[in-house]
Amino acid sequence: MKVILIKDVKGLGRSHDEVVTADGYALNFLIPQKLAISATLVAVKEAETRRKQVVDQGALDAALLLQNIASLADAKVTIVMKANEKGHLYDAVGETDISKAVKEQTQIDLPAAVIKLEKPIKELGTFDVPVASGETFGKFSIVIEAEA
């Protein structure tokens, strides 16, 4: 049975994709769970329109993200945290902390989801923060200082 996915379904496809699946799976699981709709002509055209809108929005988001990263390269983002005498933080700095600091200090809205730290930062110093969203990549620097 041909269906159009409303949401991403692991192992089957992404939102707005037209997929062929077993009748029982579509009728007993996907459609009742509001994960898919039957692939009628009208639904297929609407899905293509929505898919195009999502792609266009993604391109706009990528351009905005590139612009934000470029402006962050010049800005100095500082996070002040409690640390011991060896320079180790009592609490790690994660993506949400960095996102909040960027918003407060530069008025640039950088979602925590696009910040790609390998692991939370747990010491004082200057760090490069990688940023990625789709095909857009970049980085900026932050400074972690000890509370006085």
Predicted pLDDT at 118: 93
Give the burial string for 88-102 (b: 16+ CB within 10 Å, else e). ebeeebebebbbebb
Work out the burial of residue 75: count CB atoms within 10 Å of its CB; fewer than 13 is exposed, 13-18 middle, 19 or more buried. middle
Other CB atoms within 10 A of residue 73 CB: 10
Q: How far is CA 59 from CA 7, 70, 94, 96, 135, in A?
A: 20, 17, 27, 24, 10
Instruction: Quote the number of domains for the chain.
Output: 2
Predicted pLDDT at 33: 94
Predicted pLDDT at 36: 94
Q: Are 128 and 143 in contact (CB under 8 A)?
A: no
Give phi and psi for 69, each to the nearest 5.
Answer: -65, -40
Q: Which helix (H) or strand (E) holds 69?
A: helix 41-74
Predicted pLDDT at 104: 93
User: Of 32, 61, 90, which marks where a domain is finished?
Assistant: 61
Residues 76 and 38 in one domain: no
pLDDT in tens, 104-119: 998 888 888 889 999 9
pTM as predicted: 0.64
CATH number at residue 34: 3.40.5.10
Residues 41 and 80 in one domain: no
> Starting from the edge strand earliest in sequence, which strands make up the sheet with 18-20, in order?
18-20, 2-5, 36-38
Q: Which helix (H) or strand (E) holds 95?
A: helix 95-106
Residues 83 and 130 in one domain: yes
Predicted pLDDT at 54: 84
Predicted pLDDT at 75: 79
pLDDT in tens, 28-41: 999 999 999 999 99
* Parts of the chain with a pLDDT under 50: none
Residues 84 and 17 in one domain: no
CATH number at residue 124: 3.10.430.100
User: Of 14, 39, 61, which marks where a domain is finished?
Assistant: 61
Residues 90 and 115 in one domain: yes
Range of the domain at 21: 2-61
